Amino acid sequence: MVGAVVGILSGGRKTASSCGALCLHEQKPNQVKKLKIIALTILILGITIILSLIFIIWRNPLSGFLRSQNFAAQQIATNKAEITDEQLKNEIGQMIITGFRGTEILENSDVYKMITDVKPGGVVLFDYDVPSNSFPKNIVNYEQTKKLISDIQKYSATPLFVAVDAEGGNVNRLKQKYGFLPIVSEQKMGQDKTLQTTYKESTDLAVELRGLGFNMNLAPVVDVNINPKNPIIGALGRSFSSDAKEVSKQAKIFIDNLQEDDIVAVAKHFPGQGSATEDSHDGQVDITNTYKDEELLPYQNLNNDGFLKAVMVAHIINKNIDKNYPATLSDVFLQNILRKQVGFKGVIISDDMQMAAISKNYNFDEAIIKAINAGIDMVTVLNNSPKGYDKDLALKTRDIIFDAVKSGKIKEQRITESYNRILNLKKEFGIVYSAENIKERATRIKSKNFELIGETNALTFGEALEIAKEVEKSAVIRPAFLLSIFQEELKLEKFDMCYLTNFNTGEGVRVADGKKLGRVMKVDRDIQNFLEIAKELGKDPSKTLITCPMSFGYGGAMGPADFIPSTWMRYKDKIEKITGKPADPWNIHDAFLAAGLYLSESGANSKTRKGEWNSAMIYFSGSTSSPYTWYADGAIMISDNIQQNIETIELAEK
C-alpha cells in the first residue's frame, strides 16, 4: 500500500497502458490536485494505524502486567493490613481461658491487672484451690459469686466467657452446701429414658447459672460409658449412658436448656474418653486398644442437629489415628476428624494444659504452640495444678503465643481465625452485643413461651411482662420477681394436676395416671370456699383442675397463681375493686394481680432481695422460718435470670 502511494506521488514511471485511468499525464489539473490530497490523507492514516499497532504490541503487555500488580498490591494492602502488636496481643488474649485465686476483685489486685493487661477470653471459677489444698478458691455462696462475676465483667474490655464445671453429681463446683441447687449426676439423669429428669435438672441448672452471671458451662460430658470402671468418667457417674444414641438424646436436652438461657454448653471430652483406664490429670492416657468408633457418634449427632457450639478436647492418645500426638496437639484429630468429618465450625477448647498428660511429656511453650497450630481456638491454663499457683500464668501464655507469631512458629492467620470464631460465639450468645443482634435477641426473648400452671401456650414472655408491669401499678412489686413466682410454681406443679372427687373427704384423682389420692384439698379450710368460687364462676367443681398434694401438706391450689381457696377469698374483693368484675383464679390477669398483691404485702414491696426472699417464703409456706428455703432461693435465682431478659429488651428499645 505504501509503495503504491509513493509511486503515484512521484509521478510514476509506468506506461499509459500499465497505469490505466490513474496515470497523472492523462488527468486534468484539478483532478490531479484532488488525487494528491486523497493520497496524502491515506498515507497519514496508514502510518498512524501502523504506529498504533506497533505501540500497542510493544507497550500493552508490560503496562497491563504492571497495572495488575499495582492493583493486587493495593488489594493486599487493604485486605491484609498488618495489625499492630497491641491488636495482636488483644486477639491472642481472647484465645486464653484461665483461673485465678480470690473471692473478690479489688482494683490494682493481681487479678485486676491480669484481666486488664492480658484481656483473656474467659475465666473458670472453682470452689477448691488445689495448690494450697484449701477452700475457697473463688466460690463461697450465691451472692458472693454473683458479685464476683459482675466485677470480673465490669473490669473486662471485652466481656469474658465466665465458666464453671457444673455437670451435676460429683462434678459440680456449685455445691448444695454453699447454698446452690442440688443437681443429680448425668448417670442419674440418663437412667430416666423419658428425658424428664434431664429436662428438669438442666432447666434448673440453666436458671441458676444465668442468674449468677455465668455464660459458659464446661458440660455436658458426652463420653460414652464404655468402661464403667474408668476412674475419671464411669466410676464418677459422669456419663449419661453406655449407649451412644442415648448419650446423644440426653445431651440434646441438656444443651438445649442451657443454650435457651444463653449459656454456652461445652461438650466434652472429644474424641471420647469413656473407654479410658487412666486419668489424664495424672499422666498420659492411651486409648489405642480400647476406643470404639461409636464414641464419636454423640459429636456427629449433636453437630448435625445444630446443638454443638463449643467442644473441649481431651489429652488422650490413640495411635490408630495419630501415632505421635494426643488429640489436643493433633491436627489429624482436630482438622481431619472434628472439622472435616464431623463438620464442626464452632470453638475448639483444650482441656487444662497444665494436666500431667501434657506437662509430663511436653514443655509448656511447646505444648501451647503445638495446640494452636493443630487447631485449638482457646487454650485453658486454669492455674489449679498441684505444681503451684502462678499469678502471671495468663500473661506468660499470651507472651509465648505472641513471640511464636513474631518468630513465624504460628501464622498470624491462625490467630485471626480463632479470634473471629470466639467473637462470633460471644455475639451469638449476647455476651458481646452489637447493633445488629441486640434487637434480634430482644425479639427472641419476647417471643419465648411463658408457660403457666394449666396454661401451656397462653402467653409469650413479652405478653407476661406487660401484664406484670400493669400489676406493678396496683401492687408495688418488681415485674421480674412476680414472673419468677409463676415459674417457680410451674416447676412444682406442671406434671401434678388433680380433680377433687369427694367433697366430704378431700380425696381426688391425678389427671396424668388416674391414681386416687388423699389430701387433694383440706376439708375444713378450703372445700366450702372452693365450691362457692366454682358456683359463682359457673364451673363444675369435680371437673376443675387443681393441684395435687406434694409429699407434705395438701393440694387444692387454683389457677396460675396456685392460690388455695381460703387464701383466694382474702383477695377476692380487692381484685374485684380494681378490675370491676368477678374475680377468677383461673383468669391470667386476675391471677397475676392476686399474686402481686399477696407478695407485695408480704415484703416484696421493699424491692430488696431480703424482702423478696421473705415474701416468697410466705407465699409458699406462710412463714419466713419454715424449712422450705429452697423455694425462696429458687425464686430469687429465677428473678435474676428474668431481670437480665428485661434489661436486654429495654436496651433494644432505647
Mean pLDDT of the chain: 89
Nearest CA-CA partner of 203 in 257, 240, 166 = 257
Residue 75 pLDDT > 80: no
Whole-angstrom distance, CA of residue 55 vs CA of residue 35: 30
Whole-angstrom distance, CA of residue 154 vs CA of residue 123: 14
Residue 49 host element (H or E): helix 29-79
| pLDDT tier, 283 (very low <50, low <70, confident <90, very high otherwise) | confident
Strand partners, 117: none
Give the mean model confidence (pLDDT) for residues 448-456: 92
Looking at the chain, the whole-number percentage of residues with pLDDT higher than 90 is 83
| pLDDT tier, 40 (very low <50, low <70, confident <90, very high otherwise) | low
pLDDT, position 25: 35
Contact 652, 462 (CB under 8 A): no
Contacts for 582 with CB less than 8 Å, ≥ 6 apart: 536, 537, 576
Contact 488, 639 (CB under 8 A): no
Give the amino acid at 76.
I
Give the amino acid at 496.
D
Residue 615 host element (H or E): helix 609-621
| pLDDT tier, 44 (very low <50, low <70, confident <90, very high otherwise) | low
Phi and psi, residue 22, nearest 5°:
-90, 0
Residue 62 pLDDT > 50: no
User: Could you state, in order of their start, the residue ranges of all structural domains in the chain?
Assistant: 2-66, 85-432, 443-653
Cis peptide leading into residue 220 (ω within 30°)? yes
Strand partners, 97: 122, 380
Residue 2 pLDDT > 80: no
pLDDT, position 414: 98
Nearest CA-CA partner of 204 in 263, 162, 156 = 263
Q: Which residue has the higher pLDDT, 5 or 370?
A: 370
Whole-angstrom distance, CA of residue 555 vs CA of residue 520: 5
C-alpha cell at 451: 408457660
Contact 216, 149 (CB under 8 A): no
pLDDT, position 73: 36
Whole-angstrom distance, CA of residue 208 vs CA of residue 141: 12
Angle between helices 196-212 and 479-493 (to 10 degrees): 160
> How much is the pTM?
0.82
Nearest CA-CA partner of 303 in 273, 347, 263, 262 = 347
Q: Which long-range contacts (CB under 8 A, 24 or more apart) does 256-259 make?
A: 256/307, 257/199, 257/202, 257/203, 257/205, 257/206, 258/202, 258/205, 258/206, 258/209, 258/217, 258/219, 259/307, 259/309, 259/429
Residue with cell 453429681: 169
pLDDT, position 186: 98
Q: Point out the catalytic residue in the list 151, 223, 351, 633.
A: 351
Residue 295 pLDDT > 90: yes
Give the mean model confidence (pLDDT) for residues 184-192: 98
pLDDT, position 39: 58
Contacts for 21 with CB less than 8 Å, ≥ 6 apart: none
Give the mean model confidence (pLDDT) for residues 203-227: 97
Residue 475 pLDDT > 70: yes
pLDDT, position 436: 73
Q: Point out the catalytic residue in the list 151, 165, 223, 281.
A: 281
The three-class DSSP label of residue 259 is: helix
Contacts for 145 with CB less than 8 Å, ≥ 6 apart: 125, 138, 139, 174, 212
Residue 516 host element (H or E): strand 516-517
25 included as an active-site residue: no
Residue 12 pLDDT > 80: no
pLDDT, position 48: 60
Give the mean model confidence (pLDDT) for residues 115-125: 98
Helices (H), 140-273: 142-154, 186-191, 196-212, 244-260
Q: Which CATH number fits domain 85-432: 3.40.720.10, 3.20.20.300, 3.90.228.20, 3.30.1050.10?
A: 3.20.20.300
Residue with cell 465458666: 163
Eight-state DSSP code of residue 261: T
Contact 526, 562 (CB under 8 A): no
Residue 422 pLDDT > 80: yes
Strands 497-500 vs 508-510: parallel, antiparallel or unpaired: antiparallel
C-alpha cell at 296: 464419636
Give the amino acid at 582.
P
Residue with cell 514443655: 363
Whole-angstrom distance, CA of residue 507 vs CA of residue 617: 27
Whole-angstrom distance, CA of residue 284 vs CA of residue 279: 8
Whole-angstrom distance, CA of residue 273 vs CA of residue 42: 89
From the number of C-beta atoms within 10 Å of its C-beta (0-12, 13-18, 19+), residue 630 rates as middle
Whole-angstrom distance, CA of residue 263 vs CA of residue 260: 7
Whole-angstrom distance, CA of residue 75 vs CA of residue 120: 32
Neighbours of 90 (CB within 10 A): 17
Residues in the chain: 654
| pLDDT tier, 433 (very low <50, low <70, confident <90, very high otherwise) | confident
351 included as an active-site residue: yes
pLDDT, position 41: 61
pLDDT, position 4: 33
Whole-angstrom distance, CA of residue 565 vs CA of residue 528: 9
Contact 261, 203 (CB under 8 A): no
Give the amino acid at 550.
M
Helices (H), 80-125: 85-93, 110-118
Neighbours of 39 (CB within 10 A): 15
Residue 93 pLDDT > 50: yes
Segment 363-410, tens digit of pLDDT: 999 999 999 999 999 999 999 999 999 999 999 999 999 999 999 999
